[in-house]
Structure 1
Amino acid sequence: MTGARIRAVDWGWRHAGGDAPAVAGLSLTIEPGERVLVVGASGAGKSTLLAGIAGVLGDDEDGDETGMLTIDDVPAREARGACGLVLQDPDSQVMLARVGDDIAFGCENLAVPRDEIWQRVAVAKAAVGLDVPDEHPTNALSGGQQQRLALAGVLAMRPGALLLDEPTANLDPSGTRDVVASVRRIADDGGLTVVVVEHRVDVWAPHVDRLVVVGPSGIVHDGPLERVVAEHGDELVAAGVWLPGRPVEIAPRARAESRAQGTDGQAPETPSSPGEALLEARDLEIGWRGAAPLQRDLNVTVRSGHLLAIVGPNGSGKSTLAMTLGGLHPPLAGEVLATPALAEGLGADVRSWRSKHLITRIGTVFQQPEHQFVARTVRDEIAVGLRALRRDRDDVDARVDDMLRGLGLVELADASPFELSGGQQRRLSVATVLATRPRVIVLDEPTFGQDRRTWRHMVDRCAALLDDGCAIVAVSHDSRFVAALASETLELARIMDAGGQAALSVA
């Protein structure tokens, strides 16, 4: 196997119905075996570029293409299968019900002999550290495990190029190291071309030959990573790129800062006293019916003005706990109870509440943003909850405009939620929940896909919410976010690793 040669000449793509191209005037050549890191601001078209190289953008009905994009001198649309693409949202790549079958799916479509397929499946699983049986249900995987599954499926196909769209975004630190090492090892063994889209330069810097910076009108900078960073570091930071040794200047207690900078919060409808208990989980056992529990004997209190960070390895039940605390998933045992301060005349069992009761009390942002989109435009998506509450038009417009400004979505107000980049979709999913001003906010990976500028916007917004008396529960692998805002940190360990003992620490 040899690496693929990728060439773009004045290439661009405009999604059907879009006013402006997602990518325009882009020209570059990537030689066989090169390892290239692609960076740029959120929404600069990086994911669109990868989809174009993989030949999966669609035909003339799906958008308008300009210029030329080829793989080994063959138009990318006609070279599908030559490049393996791991999408920003791994859930969208899950095809079949069992892990082994899902990894084998691509090989079957390439007519790889059966015996060889299962050899490849075993090698790919080991390479990415996906330590579950072939028969394990894909719908029981965590987001991080889905990321590994998607990568394993691509690796098993043995393509000429690996195209990776933020492949470590949902992984814990150990998983990140494993996946990066796996990609490096497999690329070395097969001489593969590797193109990685990532906001964090430090993760991939030791493993790439070249840094390509994408802007609104094509390639802004292109060259050896060390040289580009040395010559254009300040410009890259201003564009939102995370560079080693250039942290965002945020104190561990960011709340006061956010007000000093003029960031307006969205106070809950009924402010709570600082530190007041709003939710209490007692002797909680979480997981899915018919499967082994993910965690047992959890006792958690969610307080106003506090951010409870839930951290731990992939597969430890972080997202399941978040959904359980949010009243969207039943516990296997124990209970989640609202205090009178939150229930306000309703029963204490949050599972008994109807959606109209939850919407102003507990708002939940899912790990996969698109799972909660229901409207045709970004503006209408933010307004959905407010209209369900029958708010008057002026109030709806004012709150929607505030969300658009505060989370950097003004220019996308009339776009479809499904045309946004992963980082933009994440900000939109947060905006839809914050607009109704719930008193408890559950966020699953709130900083996923954010460049350093939009990350700061998210932190400032959360800080203002805490100042206004909201309680936040945040699942996160982002140590910067946790350090900036967490009042308490609940660290989960996988039951198979540590008997299910969770550790709670107070900042």
Structure 2
Amino acid sequence: MSAETAGRPAAVSARGWGWRHAGRAVPAVHGLDLEIQAGERVLLLGASGAGKSTLLHALAGVLGDDDDGADESGSLLLDGAAPRGQRGRAGLMQQDPETQVILSRLGDDAAFGAENLAVPRPEIWRRVHEALEDVGLAGFPLDHPTSALSGGQKQRLALAGILAMRPGLVLLDEPTANLDPAGVLEVRDAVGRSLDKTGATLIVVEHRVAVWKDLVDRIVVLQPGAAPSGAQQPAVLLDGPPDQVLAQAGRMLAAAGVWVPGQVPDTRARRNAGTGQLLLAAEDLSVSRERPRRRGQRIPPVQAGISAEVRAGQALTVTGPNGAGKSTFALTLAGLLAPAGGKVVAAEALAAGAGPDPFRWKAKHLISRIGTVFQEPEHQFVTGRVLDELMVGPRQLGRGGQVVDELLQRLRLDHLAEANPYTLSGGEKRRLSVATVLAAHPRVLVLDEPTFGQDACTWAELASFLAELLDAGTAVVSVTHDEEFSALLGGAALRLGSARLQAGAA
């Protein structure tokens, strides 16, 4: 980025632009015609898989870095030139904040982008302090380890690094998906303050319209690169002022998977299940991801004194602010982390001879009893093909893959069976990560932010599917900020309070 363009709002121009990922028959985006003036603020909507993230990656100049064999058509320009030639002109916050945490200390990570743009050192740290304040991380010391941040806190840190760069184009991909309700408003307001200061152009991808509607000038709705029949169609479905688009096409948008304010997707209702058989229990449980480095060293837990029960056919929803240790608790309950104190006890109905401590179970015992969906979907992928990914669990258990076809169809992944999991959209990756666990038929499901990145249609399908599993006797434990999802599944609730700052909440 040159000195002449630094800090200036950027303009975007797309003329018949399209992109097909390597190994895909259908383009992610096709025939995109779009003009965004310098300083405009655009909310980019569309069904899961409509190519929203693909467009943002292209504008950031990073599309194609690991996609050999991809095809591009038409033109996509940033200030009249190809985005790849002006990296730093746009700042991209990706769906998965894990991919953007680079350095081991919070302050250094927030300063990384500005340092690479050769911003003078005193100005860098002024911007870093301001950005950390804006996103709600000012309470952490600059040398706080980034590995000790929760997913939501990493999301805030990624945004802080972008704000400190002062790019001409701010690109945000689901920036509030892993945040608690207070954090959602905090981050949105931080973005608004930054844009007011710099005048930068904004393109934000978010399924839930209500959060961003009053901050943007336009809503642009994309549709998938091909119709169900396989015919290609123009990329832009709707484009206009927010209130006008919502008033004229609210029902159509809802049918296309957009979260229209005031409308909750229809789902198949489930019966009111009674209290089922006890499967798992947390007894006076303390949790932490840190372990003593020397004998006698005491590390304070993220949370202590947790008691909870997991019962067949019943949901348990785990809520609380970012950094409260929700994910750490879920991993401990699932047998993937050792308790820092207290214990997790598997009832005989679940243990079936494997022993009462899930952390000591062998992998073959764990996979068929407790299935875990991580907060970051890519952490679960071990193959290069969606179909192979779904077959991993059944093969390990020596079972057939009869359930795989049903999972592909129910979770709207059947057209992606041959695709590389890493080329899927964020919402598709999340559904695949859920499907890989379901393929092994575990009796307990532990899901970390299961509805992350879902449009209204795929949200309804996923929620309905999980409700059916509850009716069939599966226990579902969900770490979530999604109030509609929690209300649909019902069951018990466990709220964790704010964790200690030094505890390394995750």
Q: Find the aligned partners of 2:342 and 2:408 in 1 and give their Cα distance.
A: 39
Q: Which residue of 1 aligns with 2:393?
A: 385
Q: Find the aligned partners of 1:255 and 1:146 in 2 and give their Cα distance.
A: 35
Q: Which amino acid aligns with 1:173?
A: P
The residue correspondences of 1:85-484 to structure 2 (distance < 5 A) are: 85-130=92-137, 131-216=139-224, 217-250=234-267, 254-256=269-271, 275-287=276-288, 288-290=290-292, 291-391=299-399, 395-396=400-401, 398-484=402-488
Please tell me whether residue 67 in structure 1 is matched to residue 69 in structure 2: no
By how many angstroms is 1:274 displaced?
A: 5.4
Q: Is the 8 A contact 2:386 2:417 kept in 1?
A: yes
Q: Find the aligned partners of 1:256 and 1:242 in 2 and give their Cα distance.
A: 26
Q: Is the 8 A contact 1:273 1:304 kept in 2?
A: no
By how many angstroms is 1:61 displaced?
A: 3.2
1:26 to 32, 36, 51: 32
Q: Which amino acid aligns with 1:414?
A: E
By how many angstroms is 1:456 displaced?
A: 0.6
Q: Percent identity?
A: 55
Q: Which amino acid aligns with 1:324?
A: T
TM-score for both structures, normalised by structure 1: 0.92
Q: Which amino acid aligns with 2:94?
A: L
Q: Is the 8 A contact 2:325 2:499 kept in 1?
A: no
Q: Which amino acid aligns with 1:463?
A: A
By how many angstroms is 1:110 displaced?
A: 0.9
By how many angstroms is 1:326 displaced?
A: 0.2
By how many angstroms is 1:228 displaced?
A: 1.2
By how many angstroms is 1:292 displaced?
A: 3.1
SS of residue matched to 2:24: coil
1:427-469 deviation line (CA, Å, top 9, x unaligned)? 0000000111100110000000001110011111111111111
Q: Find the aligned partners of 2:385 and 2:267 in 1 and give their Cα distance.
A: 33
Q: Find the aligned partners of 2:493 and 2:13 in 1 and give their Cα distance.
A: 47
Cα 1:485–1:381 change in 2 (3 A) is same
Q: Find the aligned partners of 2:416 and 2:209 in 1 and give their Cα distance.
A: 27
Please tell me whether residue 4 in structure 1 is matched to residue 10 in structure 2: yes
Q: Is the 8 A contact 2:267 2:464 kept in 1?
A: no
Q: Find the aligned partners of 1:61 and 1:410 in 2 and give their Cα distance.
A: 24
Please tell me whether residue 40 in structure 1 is matched to residue 41 in structure 2: no
Q: Find the aligned partners of 2:189 and 2:317 in 1 and give their Cα distance.
A: 28
Q: Find the aligned partners of 1:410 and 1:416 in 2 and give their Cα distance.
A: 13
Note the aligned Cα RMSD (angstroms). 1.7
Q: Find the aligned partners of 1:468 and 1:411 in 2 and give their Cα distance.
A: 28
SS of residue matched to 1:67: strand
Q: Is the 8 A contact 1:274 1:469 kept in 2?
A: no
Q: Which residue of 2 aligns with 1:267?
A: none
2:56 to 40, 47, 50: 50
Q: Is the 8 A contact 1:365 1:430 kept in 2?
A: yes
Q: Which amino acid aligns with 2:264?
A: P
Q: Find the aligned partners of 1:244 and 1:454 in 2 and give their Cα distance.
A: 17
Q: Find the aligned partners of 1:99 and 1:249 in 2 and give their Cα distance.
A: 42
Q: Find the aligned partners of 2:127 and 2:300 in 1 and give their Cα distance.
A: 29
> Gaps (5+ residues) in structure 1?
258-271, 500-507
Q: Find the aligned partners of 1:150 and 1:120 in 2 and give their Cα distance.
A: 14
SS of residue matched to 1:296: strand
1:235-275 deviation line (CA, Å, top 9, x unaligned)? 11110000111222458xx3249xxxxxxxxxxxxxx9951
Cα 1:119–1:97 change in 2 (3 A) is same
Q: Find the aligned partners of 2:186 and 2:464 in 1 and give their Cα distance.
A: 32
TM-score for both structures, normalised by structure 2: 0.92
